[in-house]
Amino acid sequence: MPGRVHVAPAGPADDGVLARLRRAWAAEAGGGVAADAGYEERFRAWLGDEGRRRRFWLARHDGRPVGMVNLLTVERMPMPGRPGGRWGHLGNLFVLPGHRRAGVATMLVDTVLAGAAAQGLERVVVHPNEASLAFWRSTRFVTTTDLLVREMV
């Protein structure tokens, strides 16, 4: 993949770009997406609500968006004698098929983790699927047993 890849935080002008990448992800994951004329509006509304807790990054190849990721920051409740803490949930990592296996996903993750460390986050978690497990392990995420999950659906 000749050219230059640059990763930077997404800004308000990137809402449509993020929505298009999410649509591309859904099309790939679901084998196609039915027409949904209201999707972009719902996405922008969701993003507006999430904006204080969630930050997005975009990877651009020669200026064209080719990937995204986000970090949801969770503020822990403080206790007497102990300040609250923060941790992150890294999610929605997606790279367009023609740009995979070229280091784009790793660049996105490394950028997010550098920012998380600079912000003093205590930990960053990710919920991989089976297909992405090897990638996440290659970025030094480890399997733990200290998280319990109760599926509600």
List pLDDT tens digits, range 113-147: 999 999 999 999 999 988 899 999 999 999 887 77
pLDDT in the model for residue 2: 63
Task: Give the range among 5-14, 24-33, 42-51 with minimum mean pLDDT.
Answer: 24-33
Q: What is the pTM of this model?
A: 0.88
Structural domains of the chain, ranges and CATH numbers in brackets:
5-138 (3.40.630.30)
Q: In what order do the strands lie in the sheet with 54-61?
A: 5-9, 54-61, 64-75, 86-95, 124-125
Q: Which residues of 12-50 are buried (b: 16+ CB within 10 A; e: fewer)?
A: eebbebbbebbebbbeeeeeeeeeeeeebeebeeebeee
